[in-house]
Amino acid sequence: MDALNLTDGYNRVWQELAVAVKNRRHGFRAFTLATVDAQGFPQARTMVLRGANPESRTIRFHCDARSPKTSELRENPAACAVFYGTDEKLQVRAYGAVTIHRNDSVSEEAWSEMQPMSRDAYRTPFAPGSRRVEEDRDRESLPPPDAYKNLVVCNLTVSRLEWLSLSSEGHERVRHDLASDGGLSSHWVHP
Task: For 87-124, write each residue's pLDDT tens digit.
Answer: 989 999 999 999 999 999 999 999 999 999 899 999 98
For 148, counting Cβ atoms within 10 Å of its Cβ (0-12 exposed, 13-18 middle, 19+ buried), the class is buried
pLDDT interval class at 138 (50, 70, 90): low
CB 163 within 8 A of CB 91: yes
Residue type, 98: V
Separation between Cα atoms, residue 10 and residue 158, nearest integer Å: 12
CA atoms within 13 A on the CB side of 78: 7
β-partners of residue 163 are 92, 174
Q: Is it true that domain 3-127+140-189 has CATH number 2.30.110.10? A: yes
pLDDT interval class at 32 (50, 70, 90): very high
Question: Any idea where the domains of the chain sit in the sequence?
Answer: 3-127+140-189
Q: Tell me the average pLDDT across 167-190.
A: 92
pLDDT interval class at 4 (50, 70, 90): very low
Separation between Cα atoms, residue 30 and residue 47, nearest integer Å: 6
β-partners of residue 174 are 163, 188
Q: Does pLDDT of 58 surpass 50? A: yes
